């Protein structure tokens, strides 16, 4: 005869005391939003000069300079081409920037595809040469280009400005498009080829749409760099080819002439 040992009845666990929700103090809120606050302060610091420029465009300056607030006026907006040479300089900068954007985007995109998709001898040297214009000071590049044009007896003007802008813009385009290509998943192109797409169809329908945001970003960067450049343009321009940054620098130094 065997004795049966009764099993212990399971007891329900005793619930722990529910702690009251911790109060959100100011330090905790600051820790959670420090990144947003830092980004807002950085954007405010960067955009503050633009706000000042827009504000003083409604000023009524008493003289050739626009440094102190005199009163509200719409004269600058009603007659934007009143200062002599302003619209000519703006048009020249826009034409050079657009031409630079087109040529540097085409050349830079082709070079980025070649450098990212192919293995060849001298690839490391090519990467170094691409980064060289980005790391070279603009004074050095501008003086070097001036020496080159003078040595080749090329007359300075809008053509030399265009050549110089393409020379340094192409490097930024290559780096931007290469970064987009580096993040592209090769399995997407392989899947397209598995679905009987040839190389041309894969490039047009898969690769190019995926790389298009990088190409657009590179073209906008090239346009901004070309339109904004002053130092290299000052070395490679003539007395008759005055771009908008050069006009602004002259107006800030000597005042606007009406």
CA quadruple 35, 37, 38, 39: dihedral sign: positive
Reply yes or no on domain 86-254 having CATH 1.10.3720.10.
Answer: yes
- Residue 127 CB burial class (10 angstroms; 0-12, 13-18, ≥19): middle
Query: Per this entry, what is the length of the chain?
Result: 258
What pLDDT is stored for residue 142 in this prediction?
93
Element (H, E) at 114: helix 86-117
Q: Note the pTM of the prediction, 2 decimals.
A: 0.78
Do residues 101 and 226 make contact, with C-beta atoms less than 8 angstroms apart? yes
How much of the chain is in helix, strand and coil states, percent to nearest 5?
65, 0, 30
What pLDDT is stored for residue 256 in this prediction?
67
Q: Chain-centre distance of CA 77, in angstroms?
A: 28
Alpha-carbon distance 170 to 146, whole Å? 19
Query: In the chain, which residues have pLDDT < 70?
Result: 1-24, 255-258
What pLDDT is stored for residue 158 in this prediction?
92
Q: Domains of the chain: which residue ranges?
A: 27-78, 86-254
- Residue 28 CB burial class (10 angstroms; 0-12, 13-18, ≥19): exposed
């Amino acid at each position: 005869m065997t004795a049966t040992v009764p099993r212990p009845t399971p007891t329900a666990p005793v619930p722990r005391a529910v702690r009251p929700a911790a109060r959100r103090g100011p330090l905790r809120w600051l820790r959670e939003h420090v990144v947003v606050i830092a980004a807002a302060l950085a954007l405010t610091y960067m955009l503050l000069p633009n706000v000042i420029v827009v504000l003083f465009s409604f000023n009524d300056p008493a003289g050739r300079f626009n440094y102190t607030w005199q009163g509200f006026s719409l004269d600058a907006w009603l007659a934007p081409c009143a200062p002599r040479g302003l619209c000519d300089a703006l048009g020249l900068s826009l034409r050079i920037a657009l031409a630079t954007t087109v040529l540097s985007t085409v050349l830079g995109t082709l070079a980025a595809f070649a450098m990212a998709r192919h293995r060849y001898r001298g690839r490391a040297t090519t990467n170094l040469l691409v980064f060289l214009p980005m790391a070279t000071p603009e004074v050095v590049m501008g003086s070097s280009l001036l020496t080159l044009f003078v040595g080749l007896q090329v007359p300075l003007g809008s053509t030399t400005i265009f050549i110089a802008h393409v020379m340094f813009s192409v490097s930024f385009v290559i780096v931007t498009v290469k970064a987009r290509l580096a993040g592209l998943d090769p399995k997407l192109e392989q899947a397209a080829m598995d679905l009987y797409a040839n190389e041309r169809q894969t490039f047009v329908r898969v690769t190019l749409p995926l790389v298009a945001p990088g190409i657009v970003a590179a073209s906008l960067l090239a346009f901004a760099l070309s339109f904004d450049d002053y130092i290299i343009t000052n070395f490679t321009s003539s007395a008759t080819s005055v771009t908008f940054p050069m006009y602004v620098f002259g107006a800030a130094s000597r005042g606007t002439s009406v």
